[in-house]
């Protein structure tokens, strides 16, 4: 079992959390997804054959640009003001 921490941009409400979870959960090897809306961090648990690139791709395709978290320090900038409404996805609930 491994865990991979990602920083995800654009999450600002419960619907975003659901979308991010739904983007990651079906991926190969993923057994659990924990989303921290406040910090913009997502922890993915499972047995992965690959690195994190396929997760980043899946999230970006869902409208939430993501990157591998480089440290335990939060560098993501949660957008609490309004929900993003990306043309390629996202929830547009703002």
Residues that bind Cu ion (CB under 5 A): 13, 15-16, 83, 91, 93
- Supply the minimum distance, in Å, between the C-beta of residue 50 and Cu ion: 28
Contact residues for 9 (Cβ-Cβ < 8 A; gap 6+): 40, 64, 65, 66, 76, 77, 79
- Supply the minimum distance, in Å, between the C-beta of residue 19 and Cu ion: 7
Judge whether 56 and 33 are in contact, CB under 8 Å. Answer: no
- Supply the minimum distance, in Å, between the C-beta of residue 5 and Cu ion: 21
DSSP 7: E
The nearer residue to Cu ion, 17 or 44, going by C-beta atoms, is 17
The nearer residue to Cu ion, 27 or 93, going by C-beta atoms, is 93
């Amino acid at each position: 079992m491994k865990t991979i921490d990602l920083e995800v941009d654009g999450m600002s409400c419960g619907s975003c959390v659901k979308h991010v979870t739904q983007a990651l959960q079906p991926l190969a090897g993923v057994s659990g997804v924990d989303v921290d809306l406040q910090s913009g961090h997502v922890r993915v648990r499972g047995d992965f054959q690959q690195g994190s690139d396929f997760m980043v791709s899946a999230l970006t395709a869902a409208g939430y640009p993501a990157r591998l978290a480089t440290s335990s320090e939060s560098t993501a900038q949660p957008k609490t003001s309004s929900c993003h409404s990306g043309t390629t996805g996202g929830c547009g609930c703002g």
